[in-house]
């Protein structure tokens, strides 16, 4: 017997299925072209249609999209495997680098691209995997996917959840989709009270929500052994790492890069999207002719600026920094990226003032003196230079951030306990 659904949610599901059907015709016609240019389609077309390898025993399915979410998924998968040894771990993503990382590290028993969120593809993957429970890392919500879990009575659980203002605004506007998606969740484990408040404003039952903190405080970034090459390039120079920069931030900060460079200082610049690296290279070579891409770095490479054009290394690279800046925080439309990756490497941290995505942790850092918040390029340059010149202040900042990090530990254990209970796996 099919579970009950409100008329509003039923209308939302039918409209969603209709739109998917209409979009499929032109998409199918362009497949030969798209498959030639898209790495995802070239390697994952079968997965997108739901044709994933069949599970051989009871399965627990984890889904995560970005590198940050895959870090959460990997840490959670390891704990699930330890507590549920009789189950296979399945993992899906939409990101080719995340997909490749899980395959390489054998983090899960089954790895696939997340299928198209239509009735046929979703039915196919659910029939092939028959998951005992499904876990979504941080934020990636799909109507058909959620409905399949609800219809099949499969526990659906959000771990380390983040609910942005943009997501909340959409679901508050389209109540039918909110009911369709979030009524399927047995548990929504979120990072902060603000995330919980947004869910409640969207009409989600408070009984489904638990505020458990940020799981990344418990996870150590994986280090790629190739980082030794970067360390040799940096040598004995002081090193500044600018992580996850957006194009507008790059334009804003680039004029002051020259002020930070001297014979004793090296600069690592990491675009949020590595595809920007090739466009930024010529601009950075106007500041330092020796600037080169990380992918082209060799044992004899010189230069004072390194431009990161690879995926999965930034979290480990922070370990080389004498001070680090986390991007997305000078761009009000973004709201800041993850400061925990810097904190875990015990490095002095600088960010812009737009940090709503990590407001809770940044507020704690600011109150304790564990972060330097800046509003423009000149303040950025002053803060970074000050941290290089004043070792005592840098040490105090790191000590304060370490205390905040320690205060936030334990989320992984709390989440695992709550998730196992919600999934009836205890």
Let me know if residue 286 belongs to a domain: yes
Whether the CB-CB separation of 40 and 96 falls below 8 Å is answered with yes
Q: Are 283 and 143 within one domain?
A: no
Q: Are 134 and 232 within one domain?
A: no
* The pLDDT value given to residue 105: 87
Whether the CB-CB separation of 126 and 148 falls below 8 Å is answered with yes
In which band, very low, low, confident or very high, does the pLDDT at 227 lie, cut at 50, 70 and 90?
Answer: confident
3-state secondary structure of 244: strand
Q: What residues does 374 pair with on adjacent strands? A: 352
In which band, very low, low, confident or very high, does the pLDDT at 29 lie, cut at 50, 70 and 90?
Answer: low
Share of the chain above pLDDT 70, in %: 93
3-state secondary structure of 426: coil
* The pLDDT value given to residue 36: 45
CATH number at residue 206: 3.40.50.11720
pLDDT at 200 over 80: yes
Let me know if residue 219 belongs to a domain: no
For helices 359-368 and 391-408, the axis angle rounded to 10 degrees is 130
Q: Are 68 and 120 within one domain?
A: yes
* The pLDDT value given to residue 20: 83
Residue 411 CB contacts under 8 Å (≥ 6 apart), including other chains: 160, 212, 213, 214, 215, 217, 218
Q: Are 82 and 153 within one domain?
A: yes
Mean pLDDT of the 14-35 span: 72
Let me know if residue 83 belongs to a domain: yes
Q: Are 134 and 182 within one domain?
A: yes
Boundary residue ending a domain (155, 184, 211): 211
Let me know if residue 277 belongs to a domain: yes
Q: What is the mean pLDDT of the chain?
A: 91
- What is the DSSP secondary-structure string of 146-198? HHHHHHTT--EEEEEE---HHHHHHHHH-HHHHHHHHTTEEEEEESSHHHHHH
CATH number at residue 339: 3.40.50.2000
Let me know if residue 151 belongs to a domain: yes
Domain total in the chain: 2
* The pLDDT value given to residue 224: 53
Q: Which two tokens stand for residue 388?
A: 């290089």
Q: Are 192 and 287 within one domain?
A: no
Let me know if residue 13 belongs to a domain: no
Mean pLDDT of the 285-290 span: 94
Let me know if residue 36 belongs to a domain: no
Q: Are 316 and 201 within one domain?
A: no
Let me know if residue 28 belongs to a domain: no
C-alpha to C-alpha distance for 153 and 41, rounded to whole angstroms: 31
Q: Are 162 and 253 within one domain?
A: no
Q: Are 201 and 242 within one domain?
A: no
pLDDT in tens, 89-138: 999 999 888 898 899 889 999 999 999 999 999 999 999 999 999 999 99
Q: Are 206 and 236 within one domain?
A: no
* H/E element, 329: none
pLDDT in tens, 324-357: 999 999 999 998 998 999 999 999 999 999 998 8
Cα–Cα separations (whole angstroms), residue 304 to 264, 266, 276, 299, 376: 9, 5, 19, 14, 23
Give the DSSP letter of residue 101: H
Q: Are 93 and 132 within one domain?
A: yes
C-alpha to C-alpha distance for 50 and 44, rounded to whole angstroms: 10
- Give the domain extent around 143: 57-211
3-state secondary structure of 62: strand
In which band, very low, low, confident or very high, does the pLDDT at 45 lie, cut at 50, 70 and 90?
Answer: confident
Nearest Cα to Cα of residue 94 among 119, 121, 67, 129: 67
Q: Are 247 and 390 within one domain?
A: yes
pLDDT at 23 over 80: no
């Amino acid at each position: 017997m099919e579970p009950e659904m409100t008329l509003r949610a039923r209308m939302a599901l039918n409209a969603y299925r209709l739109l998917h059907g209409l979009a499929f015709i032109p998409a199918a016609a362009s497949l030969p072209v798209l498959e030639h240019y898209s790495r995802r389609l070239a390697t994952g077309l079968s997965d997108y249609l739901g044709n994933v390898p069949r599970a051989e025993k009871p399965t627990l399915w984890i889904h995560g999209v970005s590198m940050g979410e895959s870090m959460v998924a990997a840490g959670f998968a390891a704990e699930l495997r330890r507590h549920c040894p009789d189950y296979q771990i399945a993992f899906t993503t939409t990101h080719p680098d995340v997909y490749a990382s899980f395959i390489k590290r054998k983090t899960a028993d089954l790895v696939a691209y997340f299928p198209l969120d239509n009735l046929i593809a979703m039915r196919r993957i659910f029939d092939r995997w028959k998951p005992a429970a499904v876990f979504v890392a941080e934020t990636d919500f799909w109507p058909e996917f959620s409905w399949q879990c609800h219809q099949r009575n499969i526990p659906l659980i959000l771990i380390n959840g983040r609910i942005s203002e943009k997501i909340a605004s959409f679901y508050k506007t389209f109540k039918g989709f909110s009911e369709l998606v979030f009524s399927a969740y047995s548990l929504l484990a979120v990072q902060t009270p603000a995330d919980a408040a947004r869910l409640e404003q969207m009409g989600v039952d408070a009984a489904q929500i638990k505020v458990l903190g940020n799981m990344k405080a418990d996870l150590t970034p994986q280090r790629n052994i190739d980082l030794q090459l970067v360390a040799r390039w940096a040598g004995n120079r002081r090193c500044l790492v600018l992580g996850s920069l957006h194009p507008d931030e790059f334009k804003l900060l680039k004029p002051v890069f020259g002020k930070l460079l001297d014979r004793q200082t090296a600069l690592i610049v990491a675009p949020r999207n590595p595809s920007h690296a090739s466009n930024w290279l010529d601009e950075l070579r106007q500041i330092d002719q020796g600037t080169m891409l990380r992918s082209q770095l060799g044992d004899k490479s010189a230069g004072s600026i390194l431009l990161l054009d690879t995926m999965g290394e930034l979290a480990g690279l922070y370990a080389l920094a004498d001070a680090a800046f986390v991007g997305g925080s000078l761009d009000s439309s973004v709201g800041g990226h993850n400061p925990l990756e810097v904190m875990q490497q015990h490095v002095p941290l600088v960010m812009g003032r737009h940090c709503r995505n990590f407001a809770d942790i940044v507020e704690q850092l600011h109150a304790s003196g564990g972060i330097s918040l800046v509003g423009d390029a000149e303040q950025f340059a002053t803060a970074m230079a000050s941290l290089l010149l004043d070792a005592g202040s840098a040490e105090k900042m790191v000590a304060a951030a370490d205390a905040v990090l320690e205060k936030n530990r334990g989320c992984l254990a709390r989440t695992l306990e709550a998730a196992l209970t919600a999934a009836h796996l205890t």
